[in-house]
Amino acid sequence: MNYALIFKGHEFEYEIQAVVKIFIPRVRFQLCRDTEIPEAENQILTEYDKNKNLMHVDILLHDKKYTVSAPACAEKSGQEFQLCQMLYTGLQKLTGYQPPWGMLTGIRPVRKVLDLIGQGMTPDQACTELKQKYLISDKKLKLACDTALIQKEILPHSLKEIGLYISVPFCPTRCSYCSFVSHSIESAGNLIPEYVQKLCEEIKILGKLIEQYHLSVQSVYIGGGTPTAVSAGQLRQIMQAVQNYIDLSHAQEYTVEAGRADTITEEKLLVIKEMKADRISVNPQTLQDNVLKEIGRCHTARQAVEAFLLARKLGFDNINMDLIAGLPSDTFAGFSDTLEKVLSLSPDSITVHTLTLKRAGKLYHDEQYQNTEISEIEKMAEYSAEVLPKAGYRPYYLYRQKNTLGNLENVGYAKSGKENIYNILIMDDRQTILGAGCAASSKIITPDQNLTRVMNYKFPYEYIHRFEELMTKKQQIAQELEKLT
Ligand code: SF4
């Protein structure tokens, strides 16, 4: 079956495609502009007829038709939204689907709530405004609003308080859904010693910049990949560089994303503890053995639980566990069973992601996985939002990604006082984060709220061999940091 998307008389292609994807995800459309007339069984035409000042939407989808025309809105800035809204209404009628986030396609719903509150609205007024504009469901609005209010309490106030991110892009094997740049130890393990050495050099350089511009490091996050995929000695080397070169006297949190159970050993946990990191993640994603196998993880549910218990025994009192809703061969029963088991461990925070299918992930190309039951995944996300607050976990960060099943969200829930500032910062774009390691980006937020992003090289090989060139990027970072003084 073929699909065509026709744009006439306007340039709103990006947003129009985003609305179409809400209802018809993972379908490749033939894109046609103005005069091209395709011959497709399914066609969606959006048109702005400037001569008649009319907006027009014409949909033919699985033999059902929908047509609507309306006078174009006078404000140029409102025309894109108007056409998207007309299209959204048509697709909703034809498919019968009520998207939980309505026609909101952006990835930061919480930011929208915070912006409206910042303009003087009460949280209720902000929710009413967003509901009217984007047709968001009450449950999702409540989730966004609750999250915004908690973030308001936590968010830092000074632009000189920054986050530091350190990337360790290696994993024991690659999960089938993974779209990160992470490399399996088997394919890139020989690069690790040199990578660690360069990473330590970069940490030293960042330390100097932090000192020179009188910045205060509020949060440190060692992520990946799986930072504990390297040896205990290499992990010590990285964390020793942090100790040596970064002033941690103002740091409120220091996280190591231990991640996969098959990499967590007592020796590595002791290194993390000795080097003063106070928060770790033990990420099972699921506690169903068949699902773990299906996604290519080389550990069992039992091992994930044991890794958690070992960390507790060694005195870690701030442990996060990540779960994913919508994994292949998981069911609502499997997901709720996982959630119950995780709750029985009482971790300090639980992050519930919804599976995102990106081209770089193996799963994206898996035919069998193309027709996943979205309603089942919606149930998983809703169940988490219901059960976790009852168990004392508050939603404190929330973001959406493109190509997430059901256009759902990722939510971090935490017990009070165990929220992770870095996780909020990375989504909020209100504070500077300096990044070290491959695929890490530094983003510098200046007093006029301008954001400059400086990307490191993406792959370990490039990072190692172009390290000197990379250092010229540090001059760009320095120029931006100058604006904070
Ligand atoms: S553990 Fe995370 S980073 Fe590593 S392969 Fe799996 S999804 Fe990717």
Among 171-175, 211-215, 237-241, the range scoring the smallest mean pLDDT is: 171-175
Same domain for 165 and 275, yes or no, is yes
Residue 380: φ, ψ to 5°: -60, -45
Q: Does residue 379 belong to any structural domain of this protein?
A: yes
**Cβ of 225 less than 6 Å from ligand 1:** yes
Q: Does residue 18 belong to any structural domain of this protein?
A: yes
Question: What pLDDT, on the 0 to 100 scale, is given for residue 437?
Answer: 96
The CATH number linked to 236 is 3.80.30.20
**Cβ of 180 less than 6 Å from ligand 1:** yes
Eight-state DSSP code of residue 437: S
- Per-residue pLDDT band for 363 (boundaries 50, 70, 90) equals low
Q: Does residue 196 belong to any structural domain of this protein?
A: yes
Mean pLDDT over all residues of the chain?
91
Give SS3 for 374. helix
Q: Does residue 450 belong to any structural domain of this protein?
A: yes
Eight-state DSSP code of residue 363: G
Same domain for 312 and 379, yes or no, is yes
Residue 326: φ, ψ to 5°: 100, 15
Domain that residue 139 falls in? 109-153
Ligand 1, residues 174, 263, 320, 410: which to mutate, most atoms within 8 A of Cβ? 174
Share of the chain above pLDDT 90, in %: 70
**Cβ of 226 less than 6 Å from ligand 1:** yes
Same domain for 415 and 353, yes or no, is yes
- Atom 6 of ligand 1, residue of closest alpha carbon: 175
**Cβ of 259 less than 6 Å from ligand 1:** yes
Residue 191 pLDDT exceeds 70: yes
Q: How far is the CA of 117 from the centre of ligand 1 (A)?
A: 36
Residue 370 pLDDT exceeds 60: no
Contact (CB, 8 A) for 319 and 348:
yes
**Cβ of 175 less than 6 Å from ligand 1:** yes
- Per-residue pLDDT band for 358 (boundaries 50, 70, 90) equals low
Q: Look at residues 153, 187, 222 and tell me which one is the last residue of a structural domain.
A: 153
Same domain for 225 and 372, yes or no, is yes
Question: What pLDDT, on the 0 to 100 scale, is given for residue 156?
Answer: 67
- pTM of the predicted protein model: 0.89
The CATH number linked to 67 is 3.30.160
Instruction: State the Cα–Cα distance between residues 124 and 32, nearest whole angstrom.
Output: 42
Q: Does residue 440 belong to any structural domain of this protein?
A: yes
Q: Which atom of ligand 1 is nearest to the CA of 224?
A: 3
What secondary structure, in 3-state letters, does 147-203 show?
HHHHHHHHCCCCCCEEEEEEEECEECCCCCCCCCCCEEHHHHHHHHHHHHHHHHHHH
Per the model's pLDDT, the better-predicted residue between 360 and 38 turns out to be 38
Q: How far is the CA of 213 from the centre of ligand 1 (A)?
A: 35
Q: Does residue 483 belong to any structural domain of this protein?
A: no
Q: Look at residues 68, 95, 122 and tell me which one is the last residue of a structural domain.
A: 95
Same domain for 38 and 164, yes or no, is no
Contact (CB, 8 A) for 210 and 434:
yes
Same domain for 320 and 229, yes or no, is yes
Same domain for 138 and 160, yes or no, is no
Q: Does residue 101 belong to any structural domain of this protein?
A: no
**Cβ of 171 less than 6 Å from ligand 1:** yes
- Per-residue pLDDT band for 5 (boundaries 50, 70, 90) equals very high
Residue 337 pLDDT exceeds 80: yes
Question: What pLDDT, on the 0 to 100 scale, is given for residue 485?
Answer: 77
* Count of the separate structural domains present in the chain: 3
Burial of 265 (0-12, 13-18, 19+ CB in 10 A): middle
Question: What pLDDT, on the 0 to 100 scale, is given for residue 365?
Answer: 62
Question: What pLDDT, on the 0 to 100 scale, is given for residue 343?
Answer: 98
* pLDDT tens, residue by residue, 219-236: 999 998 899 999 999 999
The alpha-carbon radius of gyration of the chain (Å, integer) is 24
* pLDDT tens, residue by residue, 300-332: 999 999 999 999 999 999 999 999 999 988 999
Q: Look at residues 95, 125, 144 and tell me which one is the last residue of a structural domain.
A: 95
Burial of 108 (0-12, 13-18, 19+ CB in 10 A): middle
Q: How far is the CA of 470 from the centre of ligand 1 (A)?
A: 25
Contact (CB, 8 A) for 384 and 326:
no
Contact (CB, 8 A) for 155 and 428:
yes
What distance lies between CA 394 and its chain's CA centroid? Answer: 18
- Per-residue pLDDT band for 282 (boundaries 50, 70, 90) equals very high
Ligand 1, residues 168, 175, 297, 320: which to mutate, most atoms within 8 A of Cβ? 175
What secondary structure, in 3-state letters, does 449-483 show?
CCEEEEECCCCHHHHHHCHHHHHHHHHHHHHHHHC
Same domain for 28 and 117, yes or no, is no
Average pLDDT over residues 177-202: 88
Q: Does residue 50 belong to any structural domain of this protein?
A: yes
Question: What pLDDT, on the 0 to 100 scale, is given for residue 175?
Answer: 86
